[in-house]
Amino acid sequence: MLAVEDLLRDNAFVNGHWVSADSGNRFEVTNPADGKTLTSVPDLGPDDAAQAVEAAREAFGGWKKQTAGHRAKMLNRWHDLILANEKDLALLMTLEQGKPIREARGEIRYAASFVRWFAEEARRAYGDVIPPHVADKRILALKQPVGVVAAITPWNFPAAMITRKVAPALAVGCTVVIKPSEWTPLTALALARLAEDAGFPSGVLNVVTTMDAAGVGTMLTSHPDVRKISFTGSTRVGKLVLAGAANTVKRVSLELGGNAPFIVFDDADLEAAVEGAVASKYRNAGQTCVCANRILVQEGIAEEFTVRLTAKTSRLTVGPGVDDSSQIGPLINESALEKVTRLISSAQEAGATIRTGGKVHELGGTFFEPSLVSGVTDEMDIFSEEIFGPVSAISTFKTEEEVIRRANDTPFGLAAYVFTRDYARAWRVPEALEYGMVGVNTGMISTPVAPFGGVKQSGMGREGSRYGMDEFLETKTVTIGGL
C-alpha cells in the first residue's frame, strides 16, 4: 500500500522508543470511507502519557542549549523528509481521515511549510536591550523557551495542525508531547517516524495515542512539568483545557470553533465571490474551523449568486478520497453526519429551501451530498451553529450596517470573509468585524506567513507567522546594576 511500509506505525512514540500501553490495550483506526479497520494503535492511559512528559522534561535541558542554527538544521531535515514522503503521508491521511487525495497532498505540503517557516524563524528569536531608567544599570529582555509543550491536535488536519504547533515549539528549544485525535493517529505517528529519521534526540518529540482523551487531557493540563498547552478543537473542550491549566498557571493557546460569515456585497465580482465560497465552504467537505458558515448576500444579487453557487455545488464529485476524481470525501463519523442532517432538516422545517443536496449521499455511510440551503434566518440553528459539513447556508441582507451587526452577533470570532469592489468598504468592514482573520475578496486565508487565530470564544493566541513563535517563548528581564 505504502512505498515506505515503515511509515505505517502501530505503536506510540515515547522517549525515542515505539511503545505500547502498560495495560496492553489498543484501539482500532478505521477508514471513514468504508468503515474498515486499517490497523490498531496503543490506548495509552494517563500514567503512560506522563512518561512522555517526563521524557520531554529530561530532553528539554539538552535541546534548549542547542544553537538556533542546529535546531533549524534538524527542522529542515524533517521538512525535506516530509516532502520526500508526501505521497505516502497523503495516502495514510486520506485512509484515516477521508479527505480527497489531492487535498491530502496539499495538506502535507501545507504541513511541511510550517516546518520550513519555523526553521527559518528559529534564528530570529531576538530579545531586546532596553534603554535603562538610571545611568548605572543595563536592562535586557531575553527570550527563552517555555519548556515542555503539550500539543493536542484535531482530526480535520491531521498533519498541519501538528506542525503548526510543534515546529515553532521545537524551533525555540521547547520539547513536545503530541496527543493526536483518536480518529487520526496514523499521520501523527508517521510524522514522528520521520522526525526520528531527521535525528531529533530522544524525548524531544513524543506522540501519545489514546482513546482516553479526557483522562490524558486532564493529566496534560494539570501536570506541573507541562508549561504550555496548545490546543485545536471544539470550544467546549477548549474551555475544559483552559480551566484545567489554571491550577498550574500554564501558558495556553486555543484555536477553537467558528461561525464564519461570508459576506457578499452587491458591488462584488460575483463570479469571484462564488469561486471564493466554493473554496472556503467545501474544502475538506466543510470540516474546517474557517469554512464559510453563514453566507450573507446583499438582496439585489442574492438570487443570481444562489443560482450560480447551487450549480457549482451540485457538480462537486463525491467519493472515497483515494479516487483521484473525488472532491468531497466522507464525513469523519456518524455524529458529524447526524449534526449536518439535523441542521438541514430543522432549517427546512423553519422555512428554508433546499436548493441542492440535503441528504445522505447514495454511497451511504457518512457520505453527505454537497448541499445548499437558501432562505436561512438568524433564528435557525444552521445560522448559529458551526455546520462542519458540505452545506452552504444562504441568508440575505439589506445594508452594510445590518450585515456587520448580524455577523458580529455570535460568541465566536475566528474567520470572516467579505467580497466587495468598493475600496473604502474593503477597509471599513474588516475593521468592524469582530474576528481574528478576515479574507477580503478571497476564500482562502491559510498560509504559514500569516497569523492564524480567533477572538471571543474562538480562542486565544496565534499560530503560524512570526507571532506563532512568541507563544512558545518567555520574556526574561535581566537588570544589571552597579556599572
Residue 253 binds ligand SIN, judged by CB under 6 A: no
Q: What angle do CA 108, 464, 444 make, to 5 degrees?
A: 65
Q: Give me the least distance between CB of 354 and ligand SIN, in Å please.
A: 26
DSSP state of 203: T
Q: Is 255 one of the annotated active-site residues of the chain? A: yes
Which residue, 288 or 396, is less far from ligand SIN as judged by CB?
288
Backbone angles phi, psi at 178, to 5 degrees: -100, 130
Chain residues 139-158 in contact with ligand SIN, contact rule CB under 6 A: 156-157
Half-sphere exposure of 472 (CA within 13 A, CB side): 31
Backbone angles phi, psi at 281, to 5 degrees: -80, -45
Binds ligand SIN by CB under 6 A, chosen from 30, 66, 353, 446: 446
Backbone angles phi, psi at 288, to 5 degrees: -125, 155
Contact 287, 329 (CB under 8 A): no
- From the list 110, 216, 223, 221, the residue with the least C-alpha distance to 163 is 110
Chain residues 377-436 in contact with ligand SIN, contact rule CB under 6 A: none
Which residue, 258 or 365, is less far from ligand SIN as judged by CB?
258
Which residue, 160 or 344, is less far from ligand SIN as judged by CB?
160
- From the list 121, 109, 82, 68, the residue with the least C-alpha distance to 464 is 121
The active-site residue out of 103, 289, 291, 369 is 289
The active-site residue out of 121, 196, 255, 369 is 255
CB atoms < 10 A from the CB of 368, how many?
26
* Among the residue ranges 202-210, 286-294, 303-311, 390-398, the one whose residues contact ligand SIN (CB under 6 A): 286-294
Binding residue count for ligand SIN, defined by CB under 6 A: 9
Residue 289 binds ligand SIN, judged by CB under 6 A: yes
Which residue, 156 or 235, is less far from ligand SIN as judged by CB?
156
Which residue, 188 or 404, is less far from ligand SIN as judged by CB?
188
DSSP state of 452: B
What pairs with residue 41 in β-bridges?
Answer: 27
Q: Give me the least distance between CB of 393 and ligand SIN, in Å please.
A: 18
Binds ligand SIN by CB under 6 A, chosen from 206, 232, 259, 457: 232
- From the list 436, 425, 102, the residue with the least C-alpha distance to 290 is 436
Q: Is 289 one of the annotated active-site residues of the chain? A: yes
Distance between CA atoms of residues 262 and 372, nearest Å: 14
Residue 290 binds ligand SIN, judged by CB under 6 A: yes
Which residue, 232 or 293, is less far from ligand SIN as judged by CB?
232
Using Cβ positions, the residue closest to ligand SIN within the complex turns out to be: 446
Between β-strands 260-264 and 292-298, what pairing exists: parallel, antiparallel or unpaired?
A: parallel
Half-sphere exposure of 291 (CA within 13 A, CB side): 22
Q: Give me the least distance between CB of 292 and ligand SIN, in Å please.
A: 12
Q: What is the CA 166 to chain-centroid distance, rounded?
A: 12
Buried b (16+ CB within 10 A) or exposed e, 175-204: bbbbbbbbbbbbbbbbbbbbbbebebebbb
Q: Give me the least distance between CB of 267 and ligand SIN, in Å please.
A: 27
DSSP H stretches of helix in 409-452: 423-432
Q: Give me the least distance between CB of 172 and ligand SIN, in Å please.
A: 21
Residue 313 binds ligand SIN, judged by CB under 6 A: no
Cell representation of residue 147: 519548556
- H/E run at residue 97: helix 86-97
* Among the residue ranges 192-200, 235-243, 285-293, 370-378, the one whose residues contact ligand SIN (CB under 6 A): 285-293
Residue 288 binds ligand SIN, judged by CB under 6 A: yes
Residue 438 binds ligand SIN, judged by CB under 6 A: no
Cell representation of residue 168: 515553532
Q: Give me the least distance between CB of 164 and ligand SIN, in Å please.
A: 7
Q: Give me the least distance between CB of 163 and ligand SIN, in Å please.
A: 11
Residues at the contact surface with ligand SIN, assessed by CB under 6 A? 156-157, 160, 232, 255, 288-290, 446
User: Where in the sequence numbering do the catalytic residues fall?
Assistant: 255, 289
